[in-house]
Amino acid sequence: MNNPQVLEIIENLKGRRSYEEKKASKLGFNSLYAYIENKILKEKEAEAAKILKESAAKEEVVEEKKPEKKKSCSCC
């Protein structure tokens, strides 16, 4: 329970704290701290997956280029 980011988020909840505590208990977390910590971890994983997906998409675009067909006559 020494993660300063989690503690800062909990301090800034103010009026939403009771809502977040109910949500955490409903989802099976022992404490609000564990719930917030898990939430931050999921966000980081989602960002990493998004970056990997974007880089993979860029690589696919580069590979899909087709060579141009040579024209058989000068009029076309």
Please write the tens of the pLDDT for every residue from 28-42: 999 999 999 999 999
How many domains are there within the chain? Answer: 1
Examine residue 10 and state whether it is found in any structural domain, yes or no: yes
- Tell me whether residue 33 is in a domain: yes
Is pTM beyond 0.85? Reply is no
What is the span of the domain harbouring residue 39? Answer: 4-59
Q: Is the pLDDT of residue 21 over 90?
A: yes
CB 61 within 8 A of CB 39: no
Question: Residue 68: inside a domain, yes or no?
Answer: no
Q: Residue 71: inside a domain, yes or no?
A: no
Q: Please list, in sequence order, all residues whose beta carbon lies within 8 angstroms of the beta carbon of residue 3, skipping any fewer than 6 positions away.
A: 37
Residue of 60 and 24 predicted with greater confidence? 24
